[in-house]
Structure 1
Amino acid sequence: MSLGPRTAAVHSTDDRLSARLLDAAASAGESAWRLPHLPYLAESLRSHIADLSNVGTPQGQSMVAAEFLRHFAPVGVPYLHVDLAGPAYNMGEPYDGVPAGGTGYGVRTLIELMDRL
């Protein structure tokens, strides 16, 4: 929840893909913000036991998770990760049409993005 309970973090290796997702989120009324792609964080995923650790460092967890998942994208394929841990579940009162509990965050953004393809 690096950006609080109402905004998803977007990580990408591709500016165009990231911009398309952010535009779709804005049109869908869902808050998203791009965070930097920091390859040096991949060092925290090295393991002397496994091919890749899934834990990394406790600092910058959203960006570490993005680096972990990036390892599974083929080289040369644009990569995008949306960390929606914050807005996926509303622990407070309903607001702006968002219910308490599971929010379904991201569904409207993905539908908007697919409609644009």
Structure 2
Amino acid sequence: MIDFRLAGLDITDATLRLIIRHMPLLSRLDLSHCNHLTDQSANLLTAVGSSTRNSLTELNMAGCNKLTDQALLYLRRISNVTLIDLRGCKQITRKACEHFISDLSINSLYCLSDEKLIQKIS
């Protein structure tokens, strides 16, 4: 299990590509308050062939204000997710989070335990 905390840093998509390439066993990633991250960043983390698509279990993108509801469509691809923190992401709606949870809850049970904090409960 590899935990990588980059909260508040000037992380770009180029940085994410390096992380994906060189940290194939990454399971917990804290990108909270990284203000340059966009929906495309979520797409990179979850793209076909991306190691993080299968290895990530926890992703913190709280306070990443450029993320929109579109990011949730990409984050749905993470196969082993147990926690996604999107608190403070002003362009992500609660309705989109609820829809995200209903899509994920086919095989496992997820809940919205706090405003935009998505957790697996079974």
The alignment's TM-score, normalised by the length of structure 1, stands at 0.25
Q: Which has the higher strand share?
A: 2
What's the TM-score once normalised by structure 2's chain length? 0.24
